[in-house]
Structure 1
């Protein structure tokens, strides 16, 4: 139904509001009768206009824009003291309403529809969780939950998410180490004393899709409330049977308000994610310029293959107002995650006869890829806001301190393949017995899941990685005049990194590495208000990555610790610098936010890996990304809601230890990406919409370096461009129930999102899926 201007948050439980309304109505009945008698003669002379009242579901998200479900008004990060329309930086927000309408559930699927973000493969052993690339820079470790880094490297689900905030550009003054391309902040659903509600969603669909979620908030008094979110979900991967996904989760939040100045929230979040027969997708065949995805690759995952993520976190939040001008926000979190995978890849292979002569090509599976990690972390962050008049100017100071202790123990599995090879192929080390999944004509063989007779046995740990960090920060936002506003931030992070390595079959220690350093980063922005609804801004920000900052990677080219002469290499931190000019327009009665920005990010002192080993070249790389990004979120008309944007970017390697890389684009980088989600309210009870997504072609390779090209300058591992469309519609049965239909990838298009640098692991997007969901508001 069309949105109306209804206050988003009520200050009393529903029962109290209703009782108060009835009492007021009863008291006014006599006065109303008298007024009607006196006004009767005038009523015959003049007719008052008709007033139509329409109900609207109240959004429990305190950051939402009233009446514009696809638009967020504020960030949930208390360090941003102004509305999003006044912040001198590109921040894209995906609201809970937009997430629900889209029908996407995993965070990876949701972010893949955002311009400027591409996905990467589980490279060099990193298949623990989702891999994001923001504006050409790795961001798999730059995922935050409610402002605290979430280092679990896990599969992430949306059932407990209120909104997702994507900050574009280097962001270390907020995020600390890393965040070279930006950061992702998932805002969770919190208990509220505003009102009680119970919302249940139950969905079914093609590919055995089953999903049930619960979102219940119970107000016990004006000072205490509990909220619970639960998830039970399973589905097959469209067009890739028997690959299956299972997600089960529980999130609990308790809020206590002992007085008007203090609030205490305790949260628990748990997720159990398991993929059976996880699919590594297709592979590339042919040679440039005719290098292309293979056609009709069968589902070849082995029966014992799996991917698992178990996550448990506890978070305490304390907000205290010392005075109207001094407020403290404090967060403390302890978390654990256990992640493991055993997967099988496939690629095109040259088949040999008994004499070693090539007789054709077929697809063959590889020897498997395995890993496990146990993550344990503690984090505390306190931010003190102080609003103070100095020299006639009002300053909004934020002083912060943060301590984190992040530990990762990791290893792998032993792989046993008991079935006899069914073909002989040429390989890196000469002829070898292999398991072909197709014949020489490309026809799939039978019983592919048991082809190799594969099993896995967990081995001991190989790396014991740990980083302790203590950080101090200071920020200030000040209005210099009625039109000019200045924002500045500075942060220092002192860290200590240690890493032990051992042979996980003999137990012999193979390395003991440790070092420490201090990173200092800043952010400066200035904005000018053209009028009360529009502004222009300029900003500059920095970020730094450390040698060995990615605990899931063993190779120097993937963010793992670079070892040289038996010691951790004395590499300087990689430094990113970002310049941005932009404008933001809050228009149509503040219901639509339009943004535009031009930017340049330069990353210097890049440590470049040498092939798959841990030896690399130190601080020899430099690259640059330039681009333009446009965004739109909110109501174009009272009946039409939109959220989306477009990014045009160019990347270039400026320096490298390999001269042939200079001038080439970055790997896994899409020059153009665009997405638009739109919903139209056709009638009071029926609305429909669509999601369109486009991504230009890209070229695979190692992160932070040039995309792979041959001697003729042609891309060696191309990922074709694609456009994908989804449809959705919602029918309102009554005020408490509606039905939503989602058709994902409506054209059932074969498209690919990422490729490994060898041309294997060409991740395939999901095929067509149809889902029907019943939503009940009890």
Structure 2
């Protein structure tokens, strides 16, 4: 028989159940104890078990097997459906996900674990409707996401607060990952033209204790150890600690290496069910040694293709580092039975730095003979550092009321943020000897080439330049303070019809100082203030208690100079200047219209979704010609599409997390007339992912993941892709399909092993391209991971 326990406060003697269904064999005294504990259920047992003693021969009773499931530490999970989340962790979403008039894709902890992916860039990039970008404008800070064709590198949130550090992000402390599709500044504030990514962290809980350790090894010298320990202290305190140590060679790209070290501590004090305070610390140290910028494109259109068999050309001194430290305080206070205050306060610091090397292929000359030949060559390098300090506070007051005979779920919110980013570069010194020439004829060599004129490769490519780096002073000081006020209301108009409305006003003060970091001379001091007002409105109609249809409209705005890493590179979100002053450019405005349906199936264990949408972005700052007033907001584009999703249990044994997106983009207006009618850059028309897991027996499970992305064309953000006059893409990223497999075996209630084979066909595939084709990020080669998971 199957026994499911309720989610109750933890008695001190209660031990947590395991991650998957368990098989606990009860005999003798244990059977007697179990029978007493579950007395109400014993009445349903076979009547032969309850027959009185008649003096006949004693019969040996069959073995009784009891299955249980661990209480999830994630309070937002759907019980019994490991791949399905029931609700958003953002308290401003007052209804379950199945009743929310917006496309929100949620990845649970179980789905993340089974996938075998750990870096947030890998996880997010595998989702439909999302593509990855390179470090544009020569910078390589952190991860770059593009949601539904719109830049989202600064639209990453942690527990509902914007995370301004452009860092490399890891998943070890994430309980679930929520990806909102479509502009929605009423929730997130500035930016979010294509959507937002919200990482929900693991929090201390008094519900139950657990101590879990996971250790994995694999190909490419992969080593990873993580712990997740939660302990209640008395009736009011709980502590939770997550720790991570991981390093590996980049699969297929030795000697490039990645290392990740982190700790996440959470402490909970709960006076009672009405008042609790949580204090968190999160620290992460990431380092990529000799970070690989992948391949590059060769040939000319229409035969522009990725180069083949490119060796690792990163130089020995290259690196990509990210350090993050944050402190967060949370207060949940029920002031009255229908009034609740939720408050978050965070202070954080992060530092990012990089020295990387790119490469291209072309004609070079032998300095001694003047002979021309085709070879690959490394560039002069790319460097940067940034130090980020930020403070954020958000309070939301929820009041459930009956007004004019209607049920209202009203939320009033206030948010203050103070983000500061100081950035600069490194000076590079080449100690190696140039071995080729970039201009025709014989003469002094001035370039580092992969081969000589006879086609012979250099002996030690990764030490060819012999580079050393020295950190210079800052060349940019960027800061923005924002005060936001929010009002949202969810109203049941009838038993079937519900309306949602939200409005948010953001008043910001932006300052940007530009400085020559060689002479320390200030070259620009810019600043301005403005107020953004955005809204969101949705209607849902319950066709049946489990099936809704909805319509929604939402807006979002990007501000002039809103990207801290772009300075005055206006085409990348940097500040638009005019006469050496920050220009009076309008905010870029996106409006999303969406029609959708959501259907809770199979006793609420499976959620099916479909959404038809259109996002129109106006007043786009293209970075074209700003010498004349009135040319600041010259662009306009549109994205249309349909997206389907399925998450949860298809059967008692089969779990799925899947989605597919069909998108179409078009430039509707531009200062460059030839751009009109073309698709957006870095835009995939079709993308899909499916992750499925089958529980063959109580001990054995297996599954697979498949993801597909159609070909796309590189270019500058927010502008047309780089097409030639004949309609050929100048910087193409080929389509790809990648497959992963995994299997797990549970030895006991406490111990299991999982094997993941990533990119099982060892396919060469590419995830992003720089606008001139110099960087063509390569996906990881085949990798095997074996993880041992033990619950103490």
Give the TM-score, by structure 2 length. 0.93
Structure with greater strand percent: 1
Note the C-alpha offset of 1:680.
0.4
Equivalent residue, structure 2, for 1:110: 123
1:465 pairs with one of 474, 478, 481 = 478
Instruction: Give per-residue Cα distances to partners, 1:106-161, cap 9 Å, x unaligned.
Output: 00000111100000000113311000000000000000000000001100000000
- Rounded to whole Å, the distance in 1 between the matches of 2:121 and 2:627 is 29
* 1:54 maps onto 2:67 in alignment: yes
SS in 2 for 1:204: strand
Equivalent residue, structure 2, for 1:131: 144
Equivalent residue, structure 2, for 1:12: 10
SS in 2 for 1:319: strand
Note the C-alpha offset of 1:57.
2.4
Instruction: Give per-residue Cα distances to partners, 1:451-492, cap 9 Å, x unaligned.
Output: 011111000000000000000000000111111000000000
Give the TM-score, by structure 1 length. 0.95
Residues 249 and 272 in structure 1, CA contact (< 8 A), matched pair in contact too:
yes
Residues 366 and 453 in structure 2, CA contact (< 8 A), matched pair in contact too:
no
1:169-208 to structure 2, matched below 5 A, reads: 169-208=182-221
Equivalent residue, structure 2, for 1:772: 786
Distance change in 2, residues 1:443/1:533 (3 Å)? farther
Note the C-alpha offset of 1:420.
1.6
- Rounded to whole Å, the distance in 2 between the matches of 1:705 and 1:236 is 36
- Rounded to whole Å, the distance in 2 between the matches of 1:442 and 1:165 is 50
- Rounded to whole Å, the distance in 1 between the matches of 2:124 and 2:419 is 25
Equivalent residue, structure 1, for 2:715: 701
* 1:40 maps onto 2:38 in alignment: no
SS in 2 for 1:742: strand
Equivalent residue, structure 2, for 1:658: 672
1:442-457 to structure 2, matched below 5 A, reads: 444-457=457-470
Distance change in 2, residues 1:26/1:338 (3 Å)? closer
* 1:739 maps onto 2:737 in alignment: no
- Rounded to whole Å, the distance in 2 between the matches of 1:5 and 1:348 is 64
- Rounded to whole Å, the distance in 2 between the matches of 1:516 and 1:412 is 28
RMSD: 2.6
Residues 14 and 208 in structure 2, CA contact (< 8 A), matched pair in contact too:
no
- Rounded to whole Å, the distance in 2 between the matches of 1:49 and 1:542 is 63
- Rounded to whole Å, the distance in 2 between the matches of 1:316 and 1:130 is 26
Note the C-alpha offset of 1:92.
0.1
Residues 5 and 66 in structure 1, CA contact (< 8 A), matched pair in contact too:
no
1:267 pairs with one of 261, 274, 280 = 280
Residues 609 and 615 in structure 1, CA contact (< 8 A), matched pair in contact too:
no
Distance change in 2, residues 1:443/1:269 (3 Å)? farther
Query: 4+ runs of 1 displaced by more than 2 Å?
Result: 3-10, 16-19, 21-29, 35-44, 48-53, 353-358, 438-445, 610-617
SS in 2 for 1:124: helix
Equivalent residue, structure 2, for 1:255: 268
1:321-340 to structure 2, matched below 5 A, reads: 321-340=334-353
2:737 pairs with one of 693, 709, 723 = 723
Equivalent residue, structure 2, for 1:752: 766
SS in 2 for 1:99: helix
- Rounded to whole Å, the distance in 2 between the matches of 1:118 and 1:369 is 23
How many residues are matched? 767
1:285-364 to structure 2, matched below 5 A, reads: 285-354=298-367, 359-364=372-377
Equivalent residue, structure 1, for 2:24: none
Note the C-alpha offset of 1:49.
13
Instruction: Give per-residue Cα distances to partners, 1:608-635, cap 9 Å, x unaligned.
Output: 1149999994100000000000000000
1:635-650 to structure 2, matched below 5 A, reads: 635-650=649-664
Unaligned runs of 5+ in 2: 17-29
Equivalent residue, structure 2, for 1:25: 36
Note the C-alpha offset of 1:432.
6.5
Distance change in 2, residues 1:603/1:15 (3 Å)? same
- Rounded to whole Å, the distance in 2 between the matches of 1:14 and 1:377 is 40
Residues 367 and 444 in structure 2, CA contact (< 8 A), matched pair in contact too:
no
Instruction: Give per-residue Cα distances to partners, 1:281-335, cap 9 Å, x unaligned.
Output: 1100001110000001100000100000000000000000011100000000000
Equivalent residue, structure 2, for 1:76: 89
Note the C-alpha offset of 1:431.
9.4
1:530-679 to structure 2, matched below 5 A, reads: 530-554=543-567, 555-610=569-624, 617-679=631-693
Distance change in 2, residues 1:630/1:8 (3 Å)? farther
Residues 193 and 221 in structure 1, CA contact (< 8 A), matched pair in contact too:
no
Residues 681 and 718 in structure 2, CA contact (< 8 A), matched pair in contact too:
yes
Note the C-alpha offset of 1:222.
1.9
- Rounded to whole Å, the distance in 2 between the matches of 1:414 and 1:132 is 29
- Rounded to whole Å, the distance in 2 between the matches of 1:414 and 1:125 is 15
1:117-156 to structure 2, matched below 5 A, reads: 117-156=130-169
